Amino acid sequence: MSSNKAWSKKEFEERLRAKGDRYHIHHPFNVAMREGKLSREQLRGWVANRFYYQVCIPQKDAAVMANCDDRETRRRWVQRILDHDGWEGNAGGIEAWSRLGEAVGIDREVLWGQQLVLPGVRFAVDAYVNFARRAPWQEAVCSSLTEMFAPEIHKQRLSNWPKDYKWVAPEGLNYFRSRISLAQRDVEHGLEVTLNYFKTRAQQERALEILQFKLDVLWSMSDAIALSYPDKPAKTKQKKQ
């Protein structure tokens, strides 16, 4: 039966990439961000909540490594943890995100204390970390492939924030700048693992479901943030008495 035939690697990759139409780049909250429509409070809410994702990513990557029995893979994967946690002479991504927090005016203690992290964001991010703890490491690698779509969203922010959110200190944007090349490197490795591991058609379809799960994690985070930081109703002109 032809419908059960495995896709070629090329077609499999194309189907993974086609999932980009469900990326949070299309979420109404992100669309509003790109169109310069967010209030200071909304932008601060987003930065404070995304911080929880940032601090959990290295734990997620450590879970992948803990489950991985392949030394070569671990040697490459460990770099992801260092990218976020930093090392001597490099403060790392979490610190860069915390500079973004300062640039939008969030008190360092409030940010690091996770005081603004919403329950929905916590649930979504924790679901991702728990998936990486429990799944075979190759499945966890597959779930990181939303990063295929991340360079575009970082580029959007780099291009529109300086004109639409002039009140944000420019050095706050360094995190986005740093992630473009790192995401591309991560994706190269993630795709290599995924295209080799998911071989049969059923496995390839499972990979698409895993990617969808991760897209849903990101979408749910945006839903929770949008709900708690709603648009202000447009001001109506006061009638002169």
Nearer to ligand PQQ, 38 or 218 (CB): 218
Is residue 222 near ligand PQQ by the rule CB under 6 A? no
Is residue 146 near ligand PQQ by the rule CB under 6 A? yes
Contacts with ligand PQQ, 97-136, as mask; x by CB under 6 A: ----------------------------------------
Q: Determine which residue in the list 73, 144, 204, 222 makes contact with ligand PQQ, applying CB under 6 A.
A: 144
Rounded to the nearest whole angstrom, what is the least distance from the CB of residue 57 to ligand PQQ in the complex?
Answer: 5
Rounded to the nearest whole angstrom, what is the least distance from the CB of residue 179 to ligand PQQ in the complex?
Answer: 5
Residue with the shortest CB distance to ligand PQQ = 146
Cα 116 to chain centroid, rounded:
18
Q: Determine which residue in the list 13, 95, 126, 147 makes contact with ligand PQQ, applying CB under 6 A.
A: 147
Beta bridge partners of 5: none
Is residue 19 near ligand PQQ by the rule CB under 6 A? no
Structure token digits, residue 235: 């001001």
Is residue 179 near ligand PQQ by the rule CB under 6 A? yes
Binding site for ligand PQQ (CB under 6 A): 57, 144, 146-147, 150, 153, 179, 218
